[in-house]
Amino acid sequence: MTAYLADVAALARKDLRLELRARDTLPAMVLFVVATLVVFHFALPGGAADDAAYGLLWVALVFTSLLGLGRAWTPETEAGALDGLVLAASDRSTIWLGKTLAALAFLGAAEIVALPAFALFFAPLDGPAVAGVVLASIGLCAVGALVSAMAAAARGREVLLPLLFLPLAIPLVVGGVGSSISPDPGTYLAFLGLYDAVFAILSWAAFEYVVTE
Amino acid sequence: MSITKPSLASLAGLAVVLAGAAVAMIFFVAPEDADQGLSQKIFYVHVPIALTAYAGFGLGAWKALRLLWTRGERYDLESYTGIHQGTIFGALTLITGSIWAKASWGVWWTWSSNQLVLFLVLFLFYCAYFMLRFSIEPGARRERISAVYALFGVALIPVSFFAIRLASDFIHPTVFTREGPQMTGEMFAAFCCSWAAIMLLAYVMYRTELAGKRTDLNLRALREALAR
């Protein structure tokens, strides 16, 4: 168990270190999410209700996570490092978990900028809304790490990833928007937790089949 | 023709007979709906098609699970064909649902019909399945990745269903209900007959497509062997 967690930590650390050195994903995600919010200001009609703005926040978050996930497996596929990782004497699901944690760290960092920016530009965010963002981010990264590994094996991965990812992200958007605007956010948060559990377990179990030849 | 595996032609004939019986029952046996009148008759086609689409997706996922479990190569084509049939019937569900919406609510599309929205999400999901499948080189890896995606589909069905239920609370405070008067015995019989006909038709289509695909693969293997 400790060996498993050590492998996961090593893999996640590798991604974070690569990012610290090259800085090619996180600045793009932060800039993208802020630019999207500015675009939404002009897309929303003048007298639009706050509820509409909360919906747009979720569009921005989903697309920002897509931006990060699109590059998630680039280091592994470019130099053929994935083959090495698959051949390594550790459980293959550690690769998925490490990637999920790294993607979550990037998305979380982008959200640390995006949420205050949203509160500043549009509408205040309360506790349940932030809890919804946290829970939905886990689901986005867990499913996204698996689906982007699938897309990385295919031709035209940049085009394919959104097609694979968006139908799976719809329930997360429902839960996230519900937790920000509903008077009874508990149901939506529980739903997000359920989604995370179901799809994290499924991705964890299925990842091996996606990367092995 | 053996008892264990009836021939495809006899099954196709049975499907035609059942479909004819279903049409007769829908129009002559089942009473007309007091509320919606003639337009309610599409219920006997729309709902069985939707259930058949679920059966196709379920079959595809089951064969995908068998593929991952036993590594049997033949399950790949079976899973793909099941999902293909499911997608065809899913598209038909959207079309018949849209016609019904127009007939009873006066609009071609309504977001307040949870089942229709669910089918739209599933349709998008399974269209992406084909995109994924056809952008990977044929081989063991493609089989596995397609199978994993097919399995995600069956997890997505209940989760999306629940999500759409939840979403209708904040998107539409009032939801149309299709709860007409309780189904009478004749209506239920017509419904079951229609369902059996469509399931059988889907099964015949599945077997035909599978046979065609297998022949295609064998032919290609033969050609390659000859070219060598």
- What is the rounded distance in angstroms from the CA atom of residue B208 to the CA atom of residue B81? 10
CB-nearest to A168 from B140, B148, B156 is: B156
Predicted TM-score (pTM) of this structure: 0.86
CB-nearest to A155 from B122, B135, B163 is: B135
Contact B166 A181 (CB under 8 A): no
> Which backbone phi and psi does B37 adopt, to 5 degrees?
70, -145
- Distance (Å) of CA B192 to CA A10, B86, B199, B203: 57, 19, 10, 16
Q: Are A103 and A28 in contact (CB under 8 A)?
A: no
Q: Does residue A123 have a pLDDT over 60?
A: yes
Q: Are B197 and B19 in contact (CB under 8 A)?
A: yes
Q: What is the mean pLDDT of residues B54-77?
A: 89
Contact A187 B135 (CB under 8 A): no
Q: Place B149 in a pLDDT band, splitting at 50, 70 and 90.
A: very high
Q: Establish if A185 touches chain B: CB-CB under 8 angstroms.
A: no
3-class DSSP state of A38: helix
Q: Are A22 and A35 in contact (CB under 8 A)?
A: no
First to last CA, chain B: 39
- What is the rounded distance in angstroms from the CA atom of residue B98 to the CA atom of residue B111? 11
User: Higher model confidence: residue B88 or residue B44?
Assistant: B88
Which residue shows structure tokens 């399974």?
B126
**Closest-CA residue of chain B to A209:** B144
Alpha carbons within 13 A on the beta-carbon side of A15: 28
Contact A213 B141 (CB under 8 A): yes
Six token digits for residue B198? 């469509």
Angle among Cα A186, A198, A204 to the nearest 5 degrees reads 135
Return contacts of A12-21, CB within 8 angstroms, 24+ apart: A12/A97, A12/A98, A12/A99, A12/A101, A12/A102, A12/A105, A14/A98, A15/A75, A15/A98, A15/A99, A15/A102, A16/A102, A16/A105, A18/A75, A19/A102, A19/A106
- Least confident stretch, A147-161, B3-17, B32-46: B32-46
Q: Does residue A61 have a pLDDT over 90?
A: yes
Angle between helices A127-152 and A93-121 (to 10 degrees): 140
Q: What is the pLDDT of residue B11?
A: 86
Alpha carbons within 13 A on the beta-carbon side of B151: 28
Q: Does residue A213 have a pLDDT over 80?
A: no
3-class DSSP state of B33: strand
- Spatial CA neighbour of B144 closest among B155, B160, B132: B132
Q: What is the mean pLDDT of residues B76-83?
A: 91
User: Higher model confidence: residue B193 or residue A201?
Assistant: A201
Q: Are B65 and B226 in contact (CB under 8 A)?
A: no
- Least confident stretch, A31-35, B1-5, B144-148: B1-5
B108 by Cβ neighbours in 10 Å (0-12 / 13-18 / 19+) ranks as exposed
How many residue pairs bridge chain A and chain B with CB atoms within 8 Å of each other? 93
- What is the rounded distance in angstroms from the CA atom of residue B115 to the CA atom of residue B53? 12
Contact A174 B135 (CB under 8 A): no
- Spatial CA neighbour of A96 closest among A71, A66, A73, A74: A73
Q: What is the pLDDT of residue B169?
A: 66
- Least confident stretch, A46-50, B45-49, B88-92: A46-50
- Least confident stretch, A46-50, A157-161, A178-182, B157-161: A46-50
- Least confident stretch, A158-167, A196-205, B69-78: B69-78
Q: Are A167 and B131 in contact (CB under 8 A)?
A: no
Give the number of other Cβ atoms within 10 Å of residue B51's Cβ.
15
Q: Establish if A183 touches chain B: CB-CB under 8 angstroms.
A: no
- Spatial CA neighbour of B150 closest among A98, A192, A150: A150
Which residue shows structure tokens 């499907």?
B15
- Distance (Å) of CA B126 to CA A114, B53, B150, B220: 32, 11, 8, 27
Smallest CA–CA separation between B19 and chain A, in Å?
34
- A168: which chain B residues are within 8 Å (Cβ-Cβ)? 125, 152, 156
3-class DSSP state of B37: strand
Q: What is the pLDDT of residue B183?
A: 67
Tell me, what DSSP letter sits at residue B73?
Answer: T
Q: Place A65 in a pLDDT band, splitting at 50, 70 and 90.
A: very high
Alpha carbons within 13 A on the beta-carbon side of B102: 7
ipTM > 0.90, yes or no: no
Q: Position A104: which residue type?
A: L
Q: Place B2 in a pLDDT band, splitting at 50, 70 and 90.
A: very low
Contacts of A137 by beta carbon, 8 Å cutoff, 6+ apart: A61, A65, A104, A107, A108, A111
- B127: which chain A residues are within 8 Å (Cβ-Cβ)? 163
- What is the rounded distance in angstroms from the CA atom of residue B198 to the CA atom of residue B51? 9
